[in-house]
Amino acid sequence: MAIQKNHVVELHYKLQEENAEGELVESTFESEPLKFIFGIGQMIPAFEENLEEKSEGDDFSFSIVAEDAYGLYDERAVANIPVGDFAVDGEVKPESIELGRQVGLQDQQGNTYQGIITEVGDENVRVDFNHPMAGVDLFFTGKILTIREATPSELDHGHVHE
């Protein structure tokens, strides 16, 4: 069976930055395989394009340029936020503005954004809202383990059921 829309795909992969010699980002080979429903928007579109029509047992190896992965790094997605905006009950706790901490912040329209604290000053906290892999070309290698049609329940819920 070849991978097509609305199929559940189970695979192992290794993700490296840039190319086969690049820094290892993550690997599923020593853990649980990745399972997802193909073609419903759960994965990077370019990732799925490279897997389409592959079959059980197939190995894969491909690159995805940053623009087609998590996008280019955008300096406009970095903000200086007043330290006081991190106050809870009038107090800013040191752990709430710790360097490297992931924070969720809400804009005036109620939209929530995830960012990483990259700098802490006396008056402002610098938060980077870019995806951690923004600006990075990706290199995947792996193996297709199983392919099956998604059940109606899986399609209704938008995720794989065990």
Instruction: Give the start-to-end residue ranges of the domains of the chain.
Output: 7-70+133-155, 75-128
Q: What is the dihedral of CA 140, 142, 145, 149, to 10 degrees?
A: 20
Nearest to 141 by CA among 56, 48, 14, 11: 14
Looking at the DSSP bridge assignments, the partners of residue 27 are 14
For the stretch 52-87, what's the b/e string if a residue is b when 16 or more beta carbons lie within 10 angstroms of its beta carbon? eebebebeeeebbebeebbeeeeeeebeebeeeebe
Q: Which one-letter amino acid corresponds to residue 70?
A: Y
pLDDT tens for the 162 residues of the chain, in order: 999 999 999 999 999 999 999 999 999 999 999 999 999 999 999 999 999 999 999 999 999 999 999 999 999 999 999 999 888 888 988 888 999 999 988 888 988 989 999 999 999 999 999 999 999 999 999 999 999 999 999 999 999 997
Distance CA 85, CA 6 (A): 44
CATH number for the region 75-128 comes to: 2.40.10.330
Distance CA 162, CA 159 (A): 10
Fold assignment, 7-70+133-155: Chitinase A; domain 3 (3.10.50)
